[in-house]
Chain A
Amino acid sequence: MKTAGFLLLLAGFVIVLSAFALLSSNTSRAVFTLSGIAVQLLGLILTFRAHYTLNEEH
């Protein structure tokens, strides 16, 4: 679960990078950037959840 979380963190970053590299208007960049950050938040939740589950098991 932690690996999946890290992959989501990376994926969100790639979305944000793509927004700046490929798009020209600030509106579309804003939409992509916020989407990327949302994906990263999901990744963070997943990594935190993985840590919590691991602690519960021990």
Chain B
Amino acid sequence: MQIQPTVLTETGMAVCTLCILLVPLVGAGLALVNTGFGRGRSAAHSMLSAACVFAVAVLVFLFIGFAFQGYAGEPSHLLTFRGRQWNLVGAERMMMRAVVFNGSPLSLVACLQLFSVGIAAMIPLGAGSDRWRLGASCASTALLAGITYPIFAHWVWGGGWLSQLGTLACGNGAIDAGGAGVIHAVGGIAALSIVWILGPRHGKYETNGMAIPGHNMVMVTFGCMLTLIGWLGLDSAGAMLFAAAPVNRIPLIAVNCVVAASTALLSALIVTAVQFGKPDASISANGFVIGLVSISGGCSLVSPIEAVAVGLVAGVLVPFSVEWLDRLGFDDPSGSISVHLLGGLWGVIAVGVFVQTRPGQWLAQMAMVSALLGFVLPLTYCLNLLLNRVYPQRISKDGERQGLDMCELGSGAYPELAPVTKDYLYR
């Protein structure tokens, strides 16, 4: 059975368009967060990488990605097994040639997806901070936007087999209104793969190693606040297009987003205050973002009290996971794995826990988690590993010591603060 596309009223189309126009603010916020968590000598490189990665993601998705993603009710490749059709991948025309940009749900999905894929592509930048080459991050993004993201997005948002599970008495099929799984968990998986491939920064885990704090916490916290504005648009537009939420559900979505983020921020702050004696600004800021990530899955379907519970779990999760991953040797400067991967997975599971419109919803959500771990993770890792063989992704040791700004761009973000030594006169 094929999943039917969402029908929007004219008001719905107008509101959805306005919400989509807010979404780039999520990308701007994430770029600031990633840059603030990195070293000052790689700050300009980090911001430029965010812009380049966004641009590559948009173009690759326009040319080939959307063809694989498609939308419910549009052409797709099916596999028939035991008399049942499994919708595997979209079969749209390349370069969005079949999309008529007239405000229809298909055109709104195409527009929202261009921004969403850009956001997903920015997530690994924080994990590869201070050591990921600009060209390699663009090439890795091309793989994400052209292969991994569209296939998984089709399964959940494009009428694919995960969304079809509702016909097998598994609730309404996999639900991910705002992209906890499709955007954040997929981006977080890319971040994990990049951390595996790049390895830690020099000096981080050596005998006389030390913690390397972010260079600008003002940038980080301002980035978090900026993401909130974009998030309201992202979750509202996603809920209308992928979870059939009516326009009058937007106030609930806004309340849930703010409530989950606030709860997660405060719980992360309290946990770190208990752990370290004083609240930790970086982990608390990550708590704010993980709250937004985890509520995305069921933003239009849970009550504000349930949003508090979602945010509370997420906020408690982040300090422990950041510390635990650090001990295991995962050098993730911006906490992208904890915030986006773990937060995204919890967001997907939370829908199964709290949304009980039809029995069996949790099974569909667990199938989605399994697909993320069993399909997206191996595929992303293998693609990046192959890329690393062809085009090494990590900067040289000398380049890392100088900073990516000097090594790759030839000038720094804060030239008046840079000491003039032979190291910095490299180019």
Interface residues of A (CB under 8 A from B): 6, 9-14, 16, 20-22, 26, 29-30, 33-34, 36-37, 40, 43-44, 48, 51-52, 54-56, 58
Query: B181: shortest Cβ distance to chain A, in Å?
Result: 14
**B370 close to A12 (CB less than 8 A):** yes
Query: A44: shortest Cβ distance to chain B, in Å?
Result: 7
Chain B residues with CB under 8 Å of A51's CB are 196, 328-330
Give the B interface residue count (CB, 8 A): 29
Produce 1/0 per residue, B49-73, CB < 8 A to A: 0000000000000000000000000
Instruction: Tell me whether B81 is interfacial, beta carbon within 8 Å.
Output: yes
User: Which of B19-27, B240-248, B371-379, B399-407 contacts its partner?
Assistant: B371-379
**A20 close to B329 (CB less than 8 A):** no
8 A Cβ contacts from B343-358 to A: none
CB within 8 A of A20: which of B168, B196, B359, B373? Answer: B168
Report Cα–Cα, A40/B381, bound state, in Å.
16
CB within 8 A of B373: which of A13, A30, A33, A58? Answer: A13
Chain B residues with CB under 8 Å of A12's CB are 370, 373-374
Query: B418: shortest Cβ distance to chain A, in Å?
Result: 30
Query: B70: shortest Cβ distance to chain A, in Å?
Result: 21
Query: B376: shortest Cβ distance to chain A, in Å?
Result: 10
Report Cα–Cα, A22/B84, bound state, in Å.
11
Between A and B, 16 residue pairs with Cβ closer than 8 Å are A6-B381, A9-B378, A12-B374, A16-B370, A20-B367, A21-B81, A21-B86, A22-B82, A26-B169, A26-B170, A26-B360, A30-B363, A33-B363, A51-B330, A55-B329, A56-B329
Chain B residues with CB under 8 Å of A9's CB are 373-374, 377-378
Chain A residues with CB under 8 Å of B369's CB are 37
- Chain A, residue nearest B359 (CB): A26
Query: B359: shortest Cβ distance to chain A, in Å?
Result: 8
**B371 close to A13 (CB less than 8 A):** yes
**B205 close to A6 (CB less than 8 A):** no
Chain B residues with CB under 8 Å of A54's CB are 329
